[in-house]
Amino acid sequence: MSHPIIAVDNWLSNQAMARKLRVLIALGVALLVVLSSVLLAGAARWWQGRSASRALTALQVDLDAEVRLAASGLARRLESVRRDAELVHSLAGDAPAQDLKRVLDRLDSADDIIIVAQDDHGTPLAARGVVVRSGLQALQLGWLGAQGQWVRLGERPMLAVRAPIFQDSPGQRVKVGYVALMLPQLPGQIERLAARQGFAARWLGGDADPAPMADDLRMALWRSDAPVLGEQAFDEGDTQRGVLQKFGSGDEVLSGAILNLPTGSGPVPMRLLLQQNAGWLQDGHAFVIAALLALVTACLLVAVPVSGLARRYFVQPFERLGDALRGDHSVQPTSSPTAGSPHSEFDRLRDMANVLSRENRELRHDSALWSSVFRHAREAICVTDPQGRIEIANSTFLSLCGLGEAETLGQIPGFLVGGTEDATQAEEIWIALRKQGEWNGEVRHVRIGEEFPVCAVSIFAIRDEQGAVQHLAAFFSDNTGHREQEARIQYLAHHDTLTGLPNRARFMERLRTAVQTAERGGRMVALLFIDLDRFKVINDTLGHAVGDELLRTVADRLVRTCESGEVVARSGGDEFVIMLDRLREPADAQRAAEHILAIMAPTARVSGHELAITPSIGIAVYPEHGIDAEELVRNADVAMYYAKSQGRNNCQLFSPRMAELAEESLSLEHALRTAADRDEFILYYQPQIEMATRKLVGVEALIRWNSQQFGMVSPAKFIRIAEECGLILQMGDWVLREACRQRAEWNLAGVADFPIAVNVSALQFRQPEFIRRVEEALQIYGISTTQLELELTESIVMHESGATAAALRRLRDMGVALSIDDFGTGYSSLGYLKHLPIQKLKVDGAFVRGIESDKADRAIVEAIVSLGRALDLTLVAEGVEQRSTITVLSKLGCHVAQGYYYCRPLPAEEFVSWFSQFNGEGKRQFQSATVTPEAH
Ligand SMILES: Nc1nc2c(ncn2[C@@H]2O[C@@H]3COP(=O)(O)O[C@H]4[C@@H](O)[C@H](n5cnc6c(=O)[nH]c(N)nc65)O[C@@H]4COP(=O)(O)O[C@H]3[C@H]2O)c(=O)[nH]1
């Protein structure tokens, strides 16, 4: 590809060449037109002359015939007239004149013939008064013969004949005169005949015009208004016969001939000038018309190929060039142009234009693109001259400086000027720009003397082709935000957003560091793993906002217990971890945990709720319970679970046995998941006896798990696991239905109409469809609502939530009795008791069992009993094992007792046996009855 400028030069030289070519073509066309015109005009004249010659030949033949015919007819008539005249003359005698006149008058009746009589001397008889036509007086007919001759009567030529008239007398014959006949119509006939052939006829010569031929002819032509002919045109031969053909002085043409008319041998020949005008070829029109015709023809002949060539070599290249300049990509390069031809030049030019056009488009596109990028960039950008004076700046830069464009342009950014607190920075920047052509770093002074938030700046030099710096471009980003964001990210990466405590990751870092330090120093590090008891219930019951607030309260309390150097973190959910690194012995950690239990004991007022929350704390101490951070956490977690299993709200120092138990717990959970499918659950029933009457007033259904793997498992073990892994919902549903089924079976069997009490876990009660499930169970087995009782934990009923109260009322309205299980172990918030539709309080067995030995237990029981009685509730004492306990409870005013003293929990069948005995009904055997849902 040649350089564009060379291409443009070529293009210009092509234009000059094109002009020359055009002039040459124009001259060629003109020459062609002239030559064609001349040739055409000559051809036209030749053709006309040839036509005229042929016409003249034919005309001459015709005229000869005409004249000869007329002459012979005249001769015959003459003879006739002569004989008549002789006869008349012979009869008339001496007075022929009058007779002859009469004869002639009679003979002269024919219009086409003139008869003239003359005396013997040739004197027309007119002289003697017999002339019959005026104008004949001067006519000398002496030389006429019978063969005819041309005469002129005035201007008019006529063919005339004369014959003598004799008078025969005996013995002699006397010439008495002459008779002449003239035919006046013949010239007119000749003229008409010539006119039919396209000739104009003029009469020359004759007796009245005996001039020489040349002059005669010249005069004739002149008189006929014919154009002046050149002398050389005259050739005697030509004038005698044939065609006179001559170019005039100008461009006119005349065709003509002079004919010697036949007949006659007199001294004066009669000549006829025949002229044929040039018609459309005369008066120079021939040349003009020929020229026009030639021009048109030439134009047609030349214009078509020339226009084709011109289009090919001039128009099309320009069109393609135009298309290319307009950016029409459909214009394809011409294949194989001939080198050096205008075609190839134009193709090159067009290709060049294509390239220029494309480059121009790309440039405009790029320019628009970068301009848009520059304007919309979030980064502040400015471009300066080599001295650092701002030439252009985008709006972000202007906002950064807090200045308008007019104030900014021409200024030098502060960090390039120096004079700031870091005076050497500007110098450093200039040196870097000179050496490396760029500088990256942070600056504070974007405006001179004004300190801005720290900006990250990237400056680089823009050089020309020679390497001279033309501009400096600087890109700024406000690093303050970036730093804040980084700090924020760091914070979020290491902290819990809810409580602001370090998160698990951060805690683990600290723990690892502390373990390493302790390892080096031979010291101990303790890890307290804290889990809030039944937090999930609070969260689910009162909502996450209350749960969050409670977590913040717990976090505050934990932080307050810690001394400097100790780390409190939220490990996730309701789990907190504390690291203690100033221990003398593991018991210090135990004491710290107990302290935590103590400060967590008071209820917390959260969003209007009085909440009691207890922690279960597991403790692991480095190096005794783990040699690294991960092991410590694992073991503290195990200890925490163990604490939970020990009734919550306590702390446990890790021991290897706990790990075994935890493992066992995991195995139990695993087995529990399939227990329902394997029909491993059974319901046991424990009676509730009204102490005053010794009457059975109800039974409590207690679940048993007869595991294939573990044998009979206590609910104290698996209920917690089931609650933790959610299996309690499925399990609770089964218990509810099984109890109803059993009651229905007993109904059928006629067993006394006591209600069955079913334990309901908090999770189960929170199900939206819990009441529907209760209704379904009652309905399916067709038992009365009064035959079902629900034992709820304090945690369920303690919250004065609208939903809880509504659910309880709905159950109560249905007729289902409600009791609070394990009363006294959970929460001290008693306000709910007076609002909720509770019928029974079940005093926890732990208090009951110590009622005789432990004053506190007795006091608690007394308090619960008096509270229950005051609220008109039925009081049920659990865990009654001794007869003496019955006595105490009765004295205290407790109504019902449940415990081993009466009966351990028994399978249904055994329970019925026991019951029949208990009722004193002897050994009556109950007929077993099987109840299926379908039966109802
Ligand atoms: N030492 C002693 N214990 C006595 C005596 N009388 C009764 N018990 C035991 O005390 C517990 C009473 O049940 P709970 O307080 O509701 O405490 C129950 C209850 O909270 C829960 N539980 C049992 N069955 C179910 C159930 O079907 N659903 C739910 N959600 N929890 C259940 O498991 C807990 C333990 O149940 P169990 O092991 O059956 O333990 C039962 C019972 O066997 C006695 O005189 N002395």
Token digits of residue 679: 């029909």
Q: Ligand 1, atom 21: nearest CA belongs to which residue?
A: 715
Alpha-carbon distance values, 409 to 170, 400, 465, 472 (Å):
159, 14, 26, 14
Say whether 542 sits in a helix, a strand or coil. Answer: helix
At 484 the pLDDT is 76
DSSP bridge partners of 276: 255
Q: pTM of the full predicted structure?
A: 0.47
Q: Ligand 1, atom 2: nearest CA belongs to which residue?
A: 879
**Ligand 1-lining residues (CB < 6 angstroms):** 686, 702-703, 714-716, 719, 732, 735, 759, 761, 821-822, 845, 878-881, 899-900, 905
In sequence order, the 6+-apart residues with CB closer than 8 A to the CB of 299 are 29
Q: Which domain holds residue 693?
A: 676-921
The answer to whether position 647 is within a domain reads: yes
- Do 499 and 476 belong together in one domain? no
Q: Ligand 1, atom 15: nearest CA belongs to which residue?
A: 822
- Do 589 and 624 belong together in one domain? yes
DSSP state of 267: S
The answer to whether position 123 is within a domain reads: yes
- Do 61 and 205 belong together in one domain? yes
**pLDDT tens column, 478-506:** 767 777 777 788 888 899 999 999 999 99
Say whether 49 sits in a helix, a strand or coil. Answer: helix
Question: Best substitution site from 702, 704, 729, 790 to test ligand 1's pocket, by max atoms within 8 Å of Cβ?
Answer: 702
Q: What is the 846 CA–ligand 1 centroid distance (Å)?
A: 12
Which atom from ligand 1 is nearest to the alpha carbon of 791? 16
Token digits of residue 338: 């001939």
- Do 453 and 432 belong together in one domain? yes
- CATH code, domain carrying 550: 3.30.70.270
**pLDDT tens column, 886-934:** 999 999 999 999 999 999 999 999 999 999 888 764 333 333 344 444 3
Identity (one letter) of the amino acid at 574?
D
- Do 706 and 854 belong together in one domain? yes
541-555: b or e for each residue (b if 16 or more CB lie within 10 Å)? bbeeebbebbbbbbb
Q: What whole-number distance in Å separates Cα of residue 393 and Cα of residue 401?
A: 10
Which atom from ligand 1 is nearest to the alpha carbon of 760? 30
pLDDT below 50 — which residues of the chain?
1-6, 8, 96, 109, 126-138, 207-254, 283, 331, 334-335, 921-936
Which atom from ligand 1 is nearest to the alpha carbon of 880? 45
The answer to whether position 461 is within a domain reads: yes
Q: What whole-number distance in Å separates Cα of residue 421 and Cα of residue 419?
A: 7
The answer to whether position 104 is within a domain reads: yes
Q: What is the 900 CA–ligand 1 centroid distance (Å)?
A: 11
478-495: b or e for each residue (b if 16 or more CB lie within 10 Å)? bbeeeeeeeeeeeeeebb
- Do 43 and 139 belong together in one domain? yes
- CATH code, domain carrying 411: 3.30.450.20
- Do 466 and 518 belong together in one domain? no
At 448 the pLDDT is 66
The answer to whether position 227 is within a domain reads: yes
64-94: b or e for each residue (b if 16 or more CB lie within 10 Å)? eebbeebbebbbebbeebbebbbebbbebee
At 468 the pLDDT is 87
The answer to whether position 852 is within a domain reads: yes
At 244 the pLDDT is 39
**Shortest CA distance to 822 belongs to which of 848, 799, 804?**
848
Q: What whole-number distance in Å separates Cα of residue 767 and Cα of residue 773?
A: 10
Q: What is the 759 CA–ligand 1 centroid distance (Å)?
A: 9
Burial label, 642 (beta-carbon count in 10 A; 0-12, 13-18, 19+): buried
Q: What is the 920 CA–ligand 1 centroid distance (Å)?
A: 27
- Do 650 and 750 belong together in one domain? no
- Do 780 and 864 belong together in one domain? yes
Q: CA-based Rg of the chain, rounded to a whole angstrom?
A: 76
- CATH code, domain carrying 876: 3.20.20.450
- Do 680 and 818 belong together in one domain? yes
In sequence order, the 6+-apart residues with CB closer than 8 A to the CB of 645 are 661, 665, 717, 720
- Do 118 and 263 belong together in one domain? yes
426, 461, 484: which is the final residue of a domain?
A: 484
- Do 888 and 784 belong together in one domain? yes
Q: What is the 165 CA–ligand 1 centroid distance (Å)?
A: 197
**Shortest CA distance to 156 belongs to which of 202, 120, 123?**
202
At 219 the pLDDT is 41
Burial label, 672 (beta-carbon count in 10 A; 0-12, 13-18, 19+): buried
Number of domains, the chain? 4
The answer to whether position 343 is within a domain reads: no
Q: What is the 834 CA–ligand 1 centroid distance (Å)?
A: 26
The answer to whether position 300 is within a domain reads: no
- Edge-to-edge strands, sheet with 575-580: 567-572, 575-580, 525-532, 615-622, 651-653
At 89 the pLDDT is 64
Provide the strand spans (E) within 496-553.
525-532
* DSSP codes, 87-121: HHHHHHTT-HHHHHHHHHHHHTT-TT-EEEEEETT
Termini Cα distance of the chain: 101
484, 504, 524: which is the final residue of a domain?
A: 484
CB of 450 within 8 A of CB of 362? no
428, 460, 484: which is the final residue of a domain?
A: 484
